[in-house]
Structure 1
Amino acid sequence: MTAPAPARDPGLQPERTRLAWRRTTLSCTVVAVLAAKQALHDGTGVVPVVAAALCALVWLGFLRVAHRRIQAVGGTARPAPMPVRAALTATACTIALAGFAVAIVV
């Protein structure tokens, strides 16, 4: 007769993942706010203002992806893997935010 398999102990991994997503969202927020501040401070031309508006849209997209992932990780002891579409969206938002920031500075 075999002994029953012990229940999986997730430890603190889901909590660390949730905190990492929150830190990343905070970093993205700081970048978007600084980009908007720079665009308003510079005040010359349409390009910085448009880039700041696009930064805000990209930030909202990243915020949505991060919020969904935080919710998925927080609910279960063994969360499902992150969908490929969500990972690609988060990556695209990060790259776009960097590109718009360069457009504002230049």
Structure 2
Amino acid sequence: MNGTKKELLNKLKKITNLNCTIIQHQAHIRPSTLDREPFLGEHPKYKNIFILNGFGTRGISMAAYLSKIILDYIENKSHIPTYYDIKRYENLYNPLK
């Protein structure tokens, strides 16, 4: 049993009287960005592809809010706040030619 799984199981045992068995456990990485803020907007090359990613640890708390922003952008070309706009990483984009 890895450390994180063991730690979570020990914490569960401290707060409950449940006798439980872990049947399956998976751990995954959380995509994050250089400045730790999610980004959204149009793909710089393919204008019919939209990106909403980089939530890191805040996916649950921010997904609904940022989904609304990107939907408004797709449907109405509404403004995307600069601090979430994928264009802030435009200088790092190096398309394969």
TM-score by length of 1: 0.29
TM-score by length of 2: 0.31
Return the structure number with greater relative CO, CA threshold 8 A, min gap 6: 1
Say which structure is richer in strand.
2
